[in-house]
């Protein structure tokens, strides 16, 4: 990819002006439309930077050197992205928004146990490309809309939920869904929901009933947390819309993981 994405962003800003970054939903739509299926990973990272309000911070900055260092640290802390990828993204924004070019120097680093050294030059500020092996030096995390968090590393991925107890006297509940089980969970949500509807039609009004569903979910009619619960009484799904939202999240998580790992 090398300079292609940088050129793409340069032309994008030239056509729509930089203030297009103020409206993230509109910006996302325009970026994806113009990219025509390319630069999916780069666009995702750019949008995450915009969600952290980096556009406003850069435009209002009176000292871009300090701002640069602060934004690099903030992005790494928030998303666990490698320093090289983070730096190239911030430098691209600084260049295109404020025509700011930091100075780069070669850096000598150790490459093995024999103390051999190799001179490695950092990417120039007009270059932004993603190498997945460098991107996933740690764990990439992202919150899902319906709750929970996706965690992606070189070793695989999973979705994790934490449900706090009713008060401080009780421990919270942790639910871990391995990426290899995501399709089974999607099927379970659908089939458990169908069973919930069937039971609801056959249980007398104001009656209560509870049973176990597939993938250790709970199906509950009447009372507290009615619907299909991921575990015990947590995350009840009792409408078609809620079901679709959860499944959409799982499908998004699977797609994201495949893009970053393959």
Structure tokens at 174: 């942790």
How many Cβ atoms are within 10 Å of 213's Cβ, its own excluded? Answer: 19
Number of other residues whose CB lies within 10 A of the CB of residue 149? 14
- The reply to whether 70 and 28 lie within a common domain is yes
Interacting residues of 213 by C-beta distance below 8 A, sequence separation 6+? 188, 191, 192, 195, 219, 228
In tens digits, the chain (262 residues) has pLDDT values of 347 889 999 999 999 999 999 999 999 999 999 999 898 889 989 999 999 999 999 999 888 888 888 888 888 888 878 788 888 999 999 999 999 887 643 333 333 434 333 333 344 444 454 444 444 456 778 889 898 999 888 889 999 999 988 777 778 899 999 999 999 999 999 999 999 999 999 988 889 999 999 999 999 999 899 999 999 999 999 999 999 999 999 999 998 888 778 7
Residue 252, Cβ density class (10 Å: 0-12 exposed, 13-18 middle, ≥19 buried):
middle
Whether residue 186 sits in one domain with residue 65: no
Tell me, yes or no, whether 194 and 158 share the same domain: yes
* Distance separating alpha carbons of residues 181 and 67, to the nearest angstrom: 42
Three-state DSSP state, 128: coil
Tell me the residue length of the chain: 262
- Our CA dihedral for 127, 131, 135, 140, rounded to 10 degrees, sits at 120
On whether both 17 and 122 belong to a single domain, the answer is yes
Question: Which pTM value belongs to this model?
Answer: 0.55
Pick the last residue of a domain from 94, 110, 135: 135
Provide the domain limits for residue 176: 140-261
Residue 9: count of CB within 10 angstroms of its CB: 21
Give the chain's domain count.
Answer: 2
Instruction: Indicate if 92 and 156 belong to the same structural domain.
Output: no
How far is the C-alpha of 246 from the C-alpha of 146, rounded, in Å? 6
Do 130 and 29 share a structural domain? yes
């Amino acid at each position: 990819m090398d300079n292609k994405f940088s050129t793409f962003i340069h032309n994008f800003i030239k056509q729509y002006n930089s203030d297009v970054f103020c409206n993230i939903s509109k910006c996302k739509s325009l970026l994806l439309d113009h990219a025509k299926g390319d630069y999916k990973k780069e666009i995702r990272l750019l949008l995450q930077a915009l969600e952290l309000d980096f556009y406003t911070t850069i435009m209002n900055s009176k000292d871009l050197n300090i701002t640069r260092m602060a934004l690099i640290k903030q992005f790494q802390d928030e998303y666990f992205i490698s320093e090289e990828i983070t730096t190239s993204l911030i430098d691209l924004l600084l260049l295109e928004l404020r025509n700011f070019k930091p100075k780069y120097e070669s850096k000598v680093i150790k490459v093995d146990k024999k103390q051999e050294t190799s001179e490695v030059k950092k990417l120039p500020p007009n270059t932004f490309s993603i190498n997945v092996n460098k991107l996933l030096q740690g764990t990439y995390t992202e919150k899902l809309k319906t709750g929970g968090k996706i965690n992606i590393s070189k070793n695989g991925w999973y979705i994790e939920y934490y449900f706090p107890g009713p008060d401080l006297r009780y421990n919270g509940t942790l639910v871990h869904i391995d990426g290899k089980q995501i399709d089974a969970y999607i099927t379970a949500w659908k089939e458990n929901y169908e069973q919930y509807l069937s039971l609801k039609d056959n249980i007398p009004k104001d009656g209560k009933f509870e049973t176990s569903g597939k993938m250790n979910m709970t199906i509950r009619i009447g009372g507290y947390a009615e619907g299909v619960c991921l575990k015990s009484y947590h995350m009840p799904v009792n409408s078609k819309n809620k079901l679709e939202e959860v499944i959409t999240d799982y499908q998004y998580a699977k797609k994201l993981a495949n893009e970053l790992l393959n």
